[in-house]
Amino acid sequence: MKYVGNTDEYFEITTLTQSDHSILTQPIEGQLSVVWFLEENNTLKIDSVESTFGKDQIICVTSFHKVEILSIGTAKVLRFNSPFYCIVNHDSEVGCKGILFFGSRSLPVLYPNLDDIKAIDGLTQMVQLEMQSRDELQQEMLQMLLKRLLILCTRIYKTQENIDKLPKGETDIIREFNFLVEQHFKEKHAVSEYASLLNKSPKTLSNLFGKLHDKSPLKMIQDRVMLEARRLLRYTELSISEVGYELGFNDIQSFSRFFKKNQGESPTEFRIVKLVP
């Protein structure tokens, strides 16, 4: 079921199955998706990393993620684009920028409790009902339902990751850091560069991330660069030197050293292994 507005607004809710999963494997540029697995044993390869998801787990993916479906039961997918609802411009409304989407951390996986599942099920049913409406308020109603879903998912993830334990000001710094890394990781590799953008000291950022997990801000930046390196080596025909240049390295030697230190194998070894059928 799709909603298409007069100025490229797009919102869709559909069911993903083993025989019909093009909505994830052939994404449309600029669209964001919330995927809710309805059955057990769903195995996906996302950015060349294989993961298995259980019943009622939720993932949030962008059109930048490279998704392969290895096995799947059924899943409900809500997909939208920024003309329909821009999470960056409306960050004060839903607060999911840098958490669910456009964050420098690994793929967000949500583990809703029973009350959360009831709320999510109710919202998706209301979306399906509203899709059948054709009056002048349909888009506003669908946007409202999407906002409620995004707020709920953000709360779930913040709780399970202990982000909600931090004061709001500190949470906002983490979200903004994640978002800035997503925007600038190709040309900015130093914590000091992001600290300057945030008007904070590198030590402040390190102390703040230390409250949440064992990943330092530098490791977050490096992980994002590595994610893109693996994507480009796995899914493009760019040469290794071109991949390094794309990611802000001045020469192939410095890129190769960085890649091997973080991956445990050289870019050439990684590409050869991944290209073997």
Give span(s): CATH 1.10.10.60, the chain: 168-275
Task: For residue 68, give both structure tokens.
Answer: 């392969």
Give span(s): CATH 2.60.120.280, the chain: 2-161
Rounded CA-CA distance 127/13 in Å is: 8
- Give residue 209's pLDDT: 84
CATH of domain 2-161: 2.60.120.280
- Give residue 66's pLDDT: 85
Q: Is 276 exposed, middle or buried (0-12, 13-18, 19+ CB in 10 A)?
A: exposed
41 in the Ramachandran plot: left (φ > 0), alpha (ψ -120 to 50) or beta?
left
- Give residue 96's pLDDT: 85
- Give residue 126's pLDDT: 95
Rounded CA-CA distance 121/108 in Å is: 20
CATH of domain 168-275: 1.10.10.60
Per-residue pLDDT of the chain (277 residues; tens, 9 = 90+): 888 888 888 999 999 887 777 777 777 778 999 999 999 999 998 887 889 999 999 999 988 888 888 888 889 999 999 999 998 888 888 888 888 888 756 788 999 999 999 999 999 999 999 998 888 889 999 999 999 999 999 999 988 887 777 788 888 888 899 889 988 999 999 999 999 999 999 999 998 888 876 678 999 899 999 989 998 998 889 999 999 999 999 999 999 999 999 999 999 998 876 544 4
HEC assignment per residue over 40-96: CCEEEEECCEEEEECCCCEEEEECCCCEEEEECCEEEEEEEECCCCCCCCCHHHHCC
